């Protein structure tokens, strides 16, 4: 509860209490780590990931989101780096077939995407969601040219087609994403 409400000063002593099970999930399936990652509580995440018994890739029940996915979609780039350093698996997929980097792209989290494309993290930038959409498709939907440019420079193909046959340029035209469309031309 203290983590959920962002009370760092209350949460820190609690997570070190011997009777606390650090991987215990609440009714929604969230662990202390996933709540801290979701809330952008870097100090708490830093403390929790030092526990030997921490299960860093635990997913919450329904959406199967890991702490890394939750931090990535909220643009908590410092937490993303902490989790990756501690061994979080960046290529796991949630219940919708999306990885942490896909979620970051969809939310327009440039700092996270920039961090995750660094070769040392071994993130699969060629990942596809359940509709065979690439990261470029997601960047176009956000009309985010900075992310689009970054991903294109990393080698993503602008002519990749999703299950409905749409390329990123088709997506730009269909949804009126002018900046992304201009970049792709």
- Tally helices (H) and strands (E) across the chain: 11, 0
The tokens for 138 are: 């997601």
Q: So what's the pLDDT on residue 106? A: 94
Distance (Å, whole) CA 66 – CA 23: 12
129-172 tens-digit pLDDT: 999 999 999 999 999 999 999 999 999 999 999 999 999 999 99
Residue 10 has pLDDT above 80, yes or no: no
Residue that has been written with the tokens 């040219």 in this structure: 145
Q: Residue 164, exposed/middle/buried by CB under 10 A (0-12, 13-18, 19+)?
A: exposed
Task: Look up the pTM and report it.
Answer: 0.86
Q: So what's the pLDDT on residue 61? A: 66
Enumerate domains of the chain plus CATH numbers: 1-102 (1.25.40.20)
Please tell me the least confidently modeled range out of 29-38, 80-89, 107-116: 29-38
């Amino acid at each position: 509860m203290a983590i959920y409400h962002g009370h760092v000063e209350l949460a820190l002593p609690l997570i070190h209490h011997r009777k606390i099970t650090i991987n215990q999930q609440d009714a929604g399936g969230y662990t202390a780590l996933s709540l801290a990652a979701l809330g952008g509580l870097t100090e708490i995440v830093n403390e929790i990931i030092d526990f030997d018994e921490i299960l860093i890739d635990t997913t919450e029940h329904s959406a199967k989101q890991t702490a890394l996915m939750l931090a990535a979609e909220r643009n908590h780039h410092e937490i993303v780096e902490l989790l990756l350093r501690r061994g979080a698996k960046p290529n796991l997929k949630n219940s919708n077939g999306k990885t942490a980097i896909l979620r970051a792209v969809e939310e327009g989290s440039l700092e996270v995407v920039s961090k995750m494309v660094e070769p040392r993290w071994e993130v699969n930038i060629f990942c596809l969601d359940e509709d065979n959409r690439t990261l470029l498709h997601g960047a176009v939907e956000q009309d985010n040219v900075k992310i689009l440019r970054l991903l294109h420079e990393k080698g993503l193909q602008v002519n990749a087609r999703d299950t409905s046959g749409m390329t990123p340029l088709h997506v730009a035209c269909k949804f009126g994403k002018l900046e992304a469309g201009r970049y792709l031309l």
